[in-house]
Structure 1
Amino acid sequence: MSANMAATEPDSRPQTVFWPPRDNHSDPLLDWILVGRHAFSYASPFRLNESVHATMETGQLLHGPITVSSVPSMIGQTLVRDYRVVEMEDGVYLKVGNPPNGLTTNEIWWKRVVKG
């Protein structure tokens, strides 16, 4: 699996950086730092955590070992993610996030898309 996450708030997405970099343009370093602080990507195999009880609606995933990451120190690590299937008026979602640890809360929501 792979994940590419970036901020959506305008204050975290300066319009003064370009990709690919322009030869005749000097991108402000602080703006690139801001982009980097609010973006994260990684790729790894994933699997169910068989040591945690799972149902069709809840359980735990293990992402790792991480093989590619925008944060090099994370390569080789395994991320633990709880999952829950959530039904809403507009569809079925999969909510994936880190278990409560008192430090951070990360949630990713995927909506089931049905072709038809």
Structure 2
Amino acid sequence: MNKLKYLRIMRELSQKDVADAINKSQQAYGSYEKGNRGMDIETLKLLADFYNVSIDFLVDHQVHEKNNDAQISSDELTLIMRYRMISDTAKGIVDTIIDSEFEKVIKEKEDKTETDLKQA
């Protein structure tokens, strides 16, 4: 599912709702959503403002900065948006899985460091 459709559905809006909000026809917005029609920069700005996301997010553009672990990818932003929409119970399950996987990574790094120190 493309980002425009995902954003619209997650906000429980119709194509007409979004089209009206950005002063476009429903047909035009539907074409943007299906990828049959390109958007000019002004339309991208309107949609980014409407959905409260960046233009980079809408067009799947990732800025790659050297040594910048704080950069959030488009996929990560999608996961954050999805996480915000699920129930508290589901969030608890996701949190438990992430915590478990994180602990495994930390343990592997600690084991590797110990092995490297023993070999030195």
TM range (shorter): under 0.3
Higher relative contact order (CA 8 A, sep 6+): 1
Structure with the largest fraction of strand = 1
Structure with the largest fraction of helix = 2
| TM-score normalized with structure 1 length | 0.26
Structure possessing the higher radius of gyration over alpha carbons: 2
| TM-score normalized with structure 2 length | 0.25
